[in-house]
């Protein structure tokens, strides 16, 4: 593979000499131009290109694969996909878990809309989302994954696209969810000049997500498994929470629109005699309440962030709720990083405590990896727009912690009133799934916001099969059904203040 160089002088000259007041769209890229992106033409030593013909699902595009090495020990794999008919815009894409993402599946939506897409492996070729011991073994790769890979991918990608099409891009957007959401926030915080507008979904933006996983495993394992839950137990709890709170938004549809206001008490399910399928033991009640409340650390932060009511049946995907205490994900990858925090000290999921939590959150690694800075003044000063979203049924990062960050940004940046919008998505799981209206075209909403300069106050979501349609309201409002007709008609819903 070949390292990508800066934009060619020829491309710059073509752009400078153009007499057209506006660029005519689409801008056309060709197979011949793709083949011309050789190592010599790019001033690089390792690169490869491939022209992909149009298919039923995707347009024709030029695929550029390269390795970027901004410093010794850094090897950032990138893939740029440049559509034959370009809308003049770039779309950077984030990864998931402890992995990057260079798949065509992730790029397909942007490509089909005419965006030139930018992707990276984050500095490591592995795709196992929990396998991250390489970050201990290769310090430069840890820096790459924390923040440098997305930045380098972006800077070089702009040059590649501008060179290929013979003119500068008009706008650059970034979109990511989960780890990609952390990457999105990191771009706004560390590299505010990289993107004009950013989408950050369900951001795993601090190591609280990983420490929460560890403490949830401990909580459910309390009493030698007495605090554990079967899937039937979780469904029992979810059903009881829905029975109490589902109708609060005006419709009984298996979705709690404002779960933070739900006061369902798991003690109402406590067994009076022996354990049955319709009740919980006392240790189970205690464990459930602890998970709802979260656990505060000695510094006042959430060592275990609270979980919301109404999505309990989906917790087992990210949480060891069976009481075994055996977590195949290693605390969502945290265990693999213990040598960074504790050296040779023996720390396990079972023994992890408050002091360990503080050591993790105050480590040099956390300072490099976490994207928690609420100061987005430089990004906003550039006119940057930030669209955030998070599923209320997410079993991994807590929506309450995301709301904390949003509120902090709002408090610290006056421009955020116009340039930040956050959409909690009722009933949605981690980046998608769940009973909620989880299919939302965030990219179209962002592009419309940029083009009109009118911030969205609600987004329309649905199910891919067309069975559900719901409006999602911008924070801090929440949707309530005021009509008497079809709840799938968004006009019957209002955005009202949260109670």
Average pLDDT of the residues of the chain: 92
User: For position 41, what pLDDT does the model report?
Assistant: 58
pLDDT band at 173 (very low <50, low <70, confident <90, very high): very high
Question: What domains are there in the chain, each with its CATH number?
Answer: 9-205+375-497 (3.40.50.1820), 208-367 (no CATH)
Q: What is the mean pLDDT of residues 55-77?
A: 94
Full DSSP string of 437-498: --B--HHHHHHHHHHH----SEEEEE-TTSS-EEEEEPTTEEEEE--SS-TT-GGGEEEEE-
pLDDT in tens, 2-12: 333 333 323 33
> What's the whole-number mean pLDDT along residues 287-302?
97
Q: How confident is the model at residue 47 (pLDDT cuts 50, 70, 90)?
A: confident
The percent of residues above 70 in pLDDT, for the chain, comes to: 93
Contacts for 385 with CB less than 8 Å, ≥ 6 apart: 196, 197, 198, 419, 420, 446, 449, 450, 455
Residue 329 pLDDT: 94
Mean of pLDDT values over 303-332: 93
pLDDT tens-digit readout, 70-110? 999 999 999 999 999 999 999 999 999 999 999 999 999 99
The percentage of residues in the chain with a pLDDT greater than 90, rounded to a whole number, is 87
- Residue 416, pLDDT > 70, answer yes
Average pLDDT over residues 325-336: 94
24 or 431: whose pLDDT is higher?
431
3-state secondary structure 384-402: CEEEEEEECCCCCCCHHHH
Q: Which residues pair with 67 in a beta bridge?
A: 77
Query: Residue 499 has what pLDDT?
Result: 85
How many separate helices (H) and strands (E) can be counted in the chain? 18, 17
Q: Phi and psi at residue 67, in whole multiples of 5°?
A: -120, 130
More confident residue, 21 or 489: 489
Q: What is the pLDDT of residue 226?
A: 62
Cβ pair 178, 111 in contact under 8 A: no
Say if CB 163 and CB 37 are below 8 A apart: yes
For 182-213, the pLDDT digits (tens) are: 999 999 999 999 999 999 999 999 999 999 99
| Average pLDDT of the segment spanning 350-368 | 98
Model confidence, pTM: 0.94
Confidence bin at 435 (pLDDT 50/70/90): very high
Q: What is the pLDDT of residues 124-167, one digit of tens each?
A: 998 999 999 999 999 999 999 999 999 999 999 999 999 999 99
Is the pLDDT at 423 greater than 70, yes or no? yes
| pLDDT value for 17 | 37
Mean pLDDT of 387-393: 98
Whether the bond between 93 and the residue before it is cis, its omega within 30 degrees of 0, is no
Residue 191 region by backbone torsions, left for phi larger than 0, else alpha for psi between -120 and 50, else beta: beta
**In which band, very low, low, confident or very high, does the pLDDT at 1 lie, cut at 50, 70 and 90?**
very low
Helix (H, G, I), strand (E, B) or coil at 407: helix
**Residue of 14, 37, 154, 161 whose CA lies nearest to 92:** 154
State the Cα–Cα distance between residues 237 and 242, nearest whole angstrom.
9
Q: Does pLDDT of 469 surpass 60?
A: yes
């Amino acid at each position: 593979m070949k390292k990508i160089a800066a934009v060619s002088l020829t491309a710059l000259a073509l752009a400078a000499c153009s007499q057209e007041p506006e660029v005519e769209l689409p801008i056309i890229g060709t197979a011949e131009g793709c083949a011309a992106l050789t190592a010599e033409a790019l001033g690089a030593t390792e690169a490869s290109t491939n022209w992909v013909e149009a298919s039923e699902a995707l347009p024709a595009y030029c695929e550029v694969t390269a390795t970027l090495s901004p410093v010794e020990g850094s090897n950032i794999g990138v893939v740029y996909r440049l559509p034959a008919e370009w809308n003049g815009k770039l779309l950077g894409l984030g990864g998931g878990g402890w992995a990057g993402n260079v798949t065509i599946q992730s790029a397909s939506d942007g490509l089909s809309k005419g965006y030139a897409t930018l992707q990276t492996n984050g500095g490591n070729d592995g795709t196992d989302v929990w396998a991250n011991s390489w970050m201990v073994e290769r310090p430069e790769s840890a820096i790459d994954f924390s923040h440098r890979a997305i930045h380098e991918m972006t800077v070089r990608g702009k040059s590649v696209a501008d060179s290929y099409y013979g003119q500068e891009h008009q706008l650059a957007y970034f979109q990511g969810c989960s780890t990609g959401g952390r990457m999105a926030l990191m771009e706004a915080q560390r590299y505010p000049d990289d993107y004009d507008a950013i989408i950050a979904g369900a951001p795993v933006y601090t190591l609280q997500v990983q420490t929460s996983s560890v403490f949830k495993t401990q909580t459910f394992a309390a009493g030698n498994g007495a605090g554990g839950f079967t899937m039937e137990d979780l469904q029992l709890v979810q059903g009881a929470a829905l029975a109490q709170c589902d109708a609060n938004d005006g419709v009984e549809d298996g979705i709690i629109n404002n779960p933070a206001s739900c006061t369902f008490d798991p003690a109402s399910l406590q067994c009076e005699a022996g354990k049955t399928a319709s009740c919980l033991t006392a240790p189970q009640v205690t464990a459930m309440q602890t998970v709802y409340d979260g656990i505060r650390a000695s510094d006042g932060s959430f060592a275990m962030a609270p979980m919301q009511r109404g999505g309990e049946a989906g917790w087992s995907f990210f949480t060891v709720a069976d009481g075994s205490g055996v977590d195949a994900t290693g605390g969502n990858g945290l265990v693999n990083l213990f040598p960074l925090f504790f050296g040779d000290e023996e720390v396990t999921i079972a023994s992890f405590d408050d002091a360990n939590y503080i050591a993790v959150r105050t480590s040099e690694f956390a300072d490099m990896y976490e994207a928690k800075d609420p100061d987005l003044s430089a990004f906003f000063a550039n006119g940057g727009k930030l669209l955030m979203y998070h599923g209320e049924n997410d079993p991994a990062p807590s929506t309450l912690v995301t709301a904390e960050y949003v509120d902090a940004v709002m408090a610290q940046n006056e421009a955020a009133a116009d340039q930040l919008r956050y959409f909690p998505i009722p009933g949605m799981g981690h980046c998608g799934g769940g009973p909620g209206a989880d299919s939302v075209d965030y990219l179209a909403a962002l592009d419309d916001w940029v083009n009109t300069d009118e911030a969205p106050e609600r987004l329309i979501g649905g199910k891919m099969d067309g069975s559900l349609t719901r409006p999602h309201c911008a924070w801090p409002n929440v949707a309530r059904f005021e009509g008497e007709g079809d709840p799938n008609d968004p006009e019957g819903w209002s955005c009202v203040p949260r109670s």
